[in-house]
Amino acid sequence: MSSESNVSSSAPATVRATVVQAATVFHDTAATLDKVEKLIAEAAALGSQLVVFPEAFVGGQPRGTNFVEWLTKEGKEKFRKYHASAIDIPGPEIERLAGMAGKYGVYLVIGVIERDGYTLYCTVVFFDPQGQYLGKHQKLMPTATERLVWGFGDGSMPVFPTPIGKIGSVICWENMMPLLRTAMYTKGVEIYCAPTADTSLNWQSTVNHIAREGGCFVLSACQFCRRSDYPPPPEYTFSDDASLSPDSVVAAGGSVIISPSGTILAGPNFEGEGLITADLDLGDIARAKFGLDVVGHYSRPDVLGLVVKDGHNSFTFNK
Note the pLDDT tens digit of each residue in 226-272. 999 999 988 888 888 889 999 999 999 999 999 999 999 999 999 99
Residue 7 lies in a domain: no
Residue 111 lies in a domain: yes
pLDDT band at 1, cuts 50/70/90? very low
The catalytic residue among 122, 172, 216, 225 is 172
Residue 317 lies in a domain: no
Q: Does the annotation mark 172 as catalytic?
A: yes
Residues 302-312 pLDDT 10s: 898 888 888 65
Residue 298 lies in a domain: no
Report which of 316, 317, 315, 196 is spatially closest to residue 267, judged by C-alpha positions.
196
pLDDT of 31 above 90 = yes
Q: Does the annotation mark 76 as catalytic?
A: no
Number of domains comprising the chain: 1
3-state SS assignment for residue 104: helix
Residue 310 lies in a domain: no
Q: Mean pLDDT, the chain, as a whole number?
A: 92
The catalytic residue among 78, 136, 139, 187 is 139
Q: Are 13 and 283 in contact (CB under 8 A)?
A: yes
Q: Which amino acid is at 277?
A: T
Residue 301 lies in a domain: no
The catalytic residue among 35, 55, 78, 273 is 55
Q: What is the pLDDT, as a whole number, of residue 312?
A: 57
Q: Does the annotation mark 55 as catalytic?
A: yes
Residues 88-134 pLDDT 10s: 999 999 999 999 999 999 999 999 999 999 999 999 999 999 999 99
Q: What is the CATH number of the domain that holds 120?
A: 3.60.110.10
Q: Which of the two residues, 124 and 79, has the higher pLDDT score?
A: 124
pLDDT of 7 above 50 = no
Which residues span the domain enclosing 224?
Answer: 14-293
